[in-house]
Chains A and B, each alone.
Chain A
Amino acid sequence: MKKFSANNPAIPIADHVKHDGSKWTIKEKLWLGLTPQEYKKQFFRNWVNWLMLCIFAVGIPIILQRYLFGLGAVTHASNDYPWGLFLGFGLFAMVPLSASGFLLGTTVEVFGRKDFIPIERLALLNGLLGYFFAVLYLEVDLGMPWRLPYPMFVSLGPAAVLFLVAWHVATYLSVQIAELVPAFGEWSGWLKGKRWIKSITLGLTIAGIILSTLHQGALGALFTYAPGKVHPLWFSAEFQWIHFFCSSIFAGLSMVIVSSALCKWTMKWRADDRFLGSVDNLTIGLGKGCSYAMITYLVIKIVAIAHDQEWAYLLTGWGQYYLLELGIGVVLPMFMFAVAVKNRWAGMVRLAALISVLGIIWNRLNTSMISFNWNLYPEIPHWKEVWITITIYALYFLTYRFILYRLPILYEWKGEK
């Protein structure tokens, strides 16, 4: 991209008009101001794209197989483990990692921390896409994906926890779309929509907090339906929803830290000086938030063990595994965050964030699959199930990058706003 912008100073596009005064068309904006040949050239020069193509080459036929021959064709069709990777990773891990939208929204709009504005839109986008792809994972997993709107409009079971998840994720998706209308409005030139959304931002943000508290918690509460199946250390009737909610705070923040680091390193051409100049400081600020959220989480985890009298379990094999998860996934990054923030080491904050992102995925898989049915036998997912999970994630990655290349997320729109 650097090469192209050296040849043509109007690239990357950040304005409605070209240098000669004529307007960019939407089509030109979609092609990033390049000719199709140039676009193709830059696409195939990137090894990441080749990797993606390899994943899709195997993944898309398997996904077709899933829709033509049923879930049994690509999973172990287990009646003992009804939920596998599609939900264990796709829903239970993707959703907390996407809490970033409501967290940064709250920081900027509710608490008035305007210094976080350069990273706010990235956090909002990270949230929106995470939720959208969580729903996509759900569409792979549901037995009858075409009935997705049933819990909303056809047959309602309002006393079920999943009912709350369905409604809240759906509403919150629309809130997040609304929150990103300004970025889209600037890019496409649809300024009326943008200005209207700006006027109701606070309402949207508070709606986001309520919905997020409840559905992040509800994902945890789903496991309270299985008191005998989830290992007691990962189960707590009273605290499950608080565990899930509280851990989503550092999960979401860590994910923005990781994502902004990737942007800083690989997408310099698209980011402006405002983003590049502040991202290290903001990373440290977010790291501080993470370490606070983690110490809170750690305390509640211990309180839950004390409340349910589960100390004896800590001495068993499961207990050691539990401590290993807490140690590597929470305590280690917590101290790393604290040390790094104190010494203002952005690099170490990023490493800690990566560990805590992996720690959250580990925790959700532990709750939904590994410690689930701890009295039965372990279930190792079918390789096709693993591959589909990776394929959808690759699609998530591509969509994420596609939008970052275009919309004013990492840079400020120079034209009329």
Chain B
Amino acid sequence: MTEQLSRRRFIKGGLAGTVAVSVLKDKETQAAHDFEGYPDAMGVVVDLTRCVGCRSCEAACNKEQGLPEPAEPFDDFSVFDYMFHGQKRRTDEAHYTVVNRYEVPQLDHPLFRKMQCNHCNEPACLTSCFVNAYTKTPQGAVIYNSKVCVGCRTCMIACPFYVPTFKYSSAFSPRIMKCIFCYDTRLKDGKPPACVEACPQEALTFGKRIDMLEVAHQRIRMEPGKYIDHVYGEHEAGGTSWMYISPVPFDEVGLDTSVTREPILNYVKGFLAIVPMVLTIWPALFAGFHLLATRKDRIKESQTDENQEG
């Protein structure tokens, strides 16, 4: 009897848990399903035809974010030759943004491309974080709260652009280091981020994301021979706040063209969907198996009981 009671109680508990989980999950997936980004989210267009590789944006970012002074000063252009495991420079705990140089065969001069967090509409870092350390603000920035971060680095696994970095050098206060669109100091008040303000070439244009998308397409329309007809970031990873237009195919300037066109979360939903199913069906299924498998024993038991009584 005690066994049956506990089983019933157990199933009840399982059901309650499932309801709770499916309610939570439904809200999440519904919210994520058709999300096209906040309407007033800001964005930036990076025009690769204009960038001259002066690294002013790197210097401005370093100062604005209070990052440590780098070994090479910002007017040292030998950094463009730096290679690590066959890769050009990337963001790290001392650099939220880096500019790289790309030699392209079609042009008689190299191209330069800035990289930083692209501030996705549906960020993979945010959806993979199990302590909710990331927030996508209505202004479009993907910001990070180091006070709750556990340091599991799943966000770094999930980010399709290899942006978040970890402060490996610290034992007692490590954290994720990444561009936050200058949210705290500028974007919050409607001001452009430091890098955009510092750009002497107007290679970076700041405004509402929907307007910036329009700007990008218009530039392509006005000078069709000058640009490839694609805005990188319009759909990549479900759409990003930072977008690029380029005179050469994007893979020649180090942008991953195989990156998915839907949000990373869509790849995970298949698994998330089975969770409530397992929670509801398994208890009944296995309790049933148990009853079936032990049926003969039970019959035998009741028979011996009867025999003893009789």
Instruction: Let me know if A163 and B148 touch, CB within 8 A.
Output: no
Residue of A nearest to B163 (CB): A79
Complex CA distance for A314 and B9, rounded to whole angstroms: 50
Contact of B271 among A148, A207, A217 (CB under 8 A): A217
| CB nearest neighbor in B for A142 | B151
Supposing A79-B162, A159-B127, A222-B154 touch, asked if A240 and B148 sit within 8 A by C-beta, the answer is no
Q: A238 and B290: CB pair below 8 A?
A: no
- Measured CB to CB, the nearest residue on chain B to A68 is B171
Binds B, one of A40-48, A198-206, A353-361: A198-206
Q: Find chain A residues with CB under 8 A from B158 CB.
A: 225-226
For the complex formed, measure the closest distance between the CB of B27 and the CB atoms of chain A, giving whole angstroms: 9
Is the pair B271, A162 in contact by a Cβ cutoff of 8 Å? no
A contact residues, total (Cβ < 8 Å)? 68
Instruction: Look across to chain A and name the residue whose beta carbon is closest to the beta carbon of B237.
Output: A228
Q: Is the CB of A206 within 8 A of B157?
A: no
A202 touching B131, Cβ below 8 Å: no
* Chain B, range 168-191, C-beta contacts under 8 Å to A: 168-171, 174-175
Contact call A70/B128, Cβ cutoff below 8 A: no
| B249 adjacent to chain A (CB < 8 Å) | no
A240 to B270 CA separation, bound complex (whole angstroms): 10
Q: A82-B156, A161-B272, A221-B268 are in contact. Are A144 and B174 (CB under 8 A)?
A: yes
Task: Pick the interface stretch among A54-62, A150-158, A333-341.
Answer: A150-158
Contacts of B157 in A (CB 8 A): 82-83, 222, 225-226, 229
B197 interface hit (Cβ, 8 Å) = no
A79-B162, A155-B132, A221-B268 given as contacts; is B260 within 8 A of A227 (CB)?
yes
**What's the nearest-Cβ distance from chain A to residue B52, in Å?**
27
Do residues B264 and A227 form an inter-chain contact, with CB atoms below 8 A? yes
Q: Is A241 an interface residue (CB 8 A)?
A: yes
Q: Which residue from A106, A142, A226 sits with its C-beta under 8 Å from B286?
A: A106
Cβ of A160 within 8 Å of any chain B Cβ, yes or no, is: yes
Q: Once the chains bind, are B282 and A206 in contact (CB under 8 Å)? A: yes
**Contact in complex: B149, A144 (CB < 8 Å):** yes
Interface size classification for chain B: 35 or more
Q: Are B267 and A151 in contact (CB under 8 A)?
A: no
**Contact between chains at B290 and A202 (CB < 8 Å):** yes
> Is A135 in the interface zone, CB < 8 Å from B?
no
A161 lies within 8 A of B2 (CB) = no
**Minimal beta-carbon separation of B139 from chain A (angstroms):** 22
Taking a contact as CB atoms under 8 Å apart, the answer to whether A160 and B127 are in contact is yes
Say whether B92 contacts A377, CB under 8 Å: no
Beta-carbon contact of A156 and B131 below 8 Å: yes
A142 engages B91 (CB within 8 Å): no
CA distance A210 to B18 in the complex (A): 12
Given the known inter-chain contacts A79-B156, A199-B3, A225-B268, please indicate yes or no for A151 contacting B131, CB distance below 8 A. yes
Q: Which residues of B contact A161 (CB under 8 A)?
A: 128, 130, 268, 271-272
Q: A-B pairs with the 10 shortest C-beta distances?
A: A143-B151, A72-B168, A77-B168, A221-B271, A82-B153, A155-B148, A163-B130, A82-B156, A377-B85, A225-B158
Measured CB to CB, the residues of B under 8 A from A are 2-3, 6-7, 9-10, 14, 21, 24-25, 28, 85-87, 90-92, 124, 127-133, 145, 148-154, 156-158, 160, 162, 164-171, 174-175, 256, 258-260, 264, 267-268, 270-272, 274-275, 278-279, 282-283, 286-287, 289-290, 293-294, 297
